[in-house]
Amino acid sequence: MGGEKFQKVELHRLAPAKPERGAPCNGCGVCCAVETCPVARVFLFQFKGKCRALTWREEPPRYVCGMAVRPDSHVWIIPGRLREMFGKFFASRISAGTACDCTAEVVE
Q: How confident is the model at residue 4 (pLDDT cuts 50, 70, 90)?
A: low
For residue 3, being part of any structural domain is answered with no
Distance CA 85, CA 37 (A): 19
For residue 72, being part of any structural domain is answered with yes
Q: Report yes or no: 46 and 36 within 8 Å, Cβ to Cβ.
A: yes
pTM, whole model, 2 decimals? 0.86
- Percent of the chain beyond pLDDT 70? 96
- The answer for 22, left when phi > 0, alpha when psi is -120 to 50, beta otherwise, is left
Nearest to 106 by CA among 12, 30, 3: 30
For residue 76, being part of any structural domain is answered with yes
For residue 105, being part of any structural domain is answered with yes
For residue 86, being part of any structural domain is answered with yes
**Domain, as residue range, for 21:** 15-108
- pLDDT tens-digit series, residues 69-86: 999 999 999 999 999 999
Nearest to 104 by CA among 20, 39, 27: 20
Mean of pLDDT over the chain: 91
How many domains does the chain fold into?
A: 1
Q: Report yes or no: 86 and 78 within 8 Å, Cβ to Cβ.
A: yes
Distance CA 80, CA 28 (A): 27
The whole-number average pLDDT for the span 35-53 is: 94
DSSP letter string, 49-94: SS-TTEEEETTTTEEEEHHHH-GGGT-TTS-GGGHHHHHHHHHHHH
For residue 70, being part of any structural domain is answered with yes
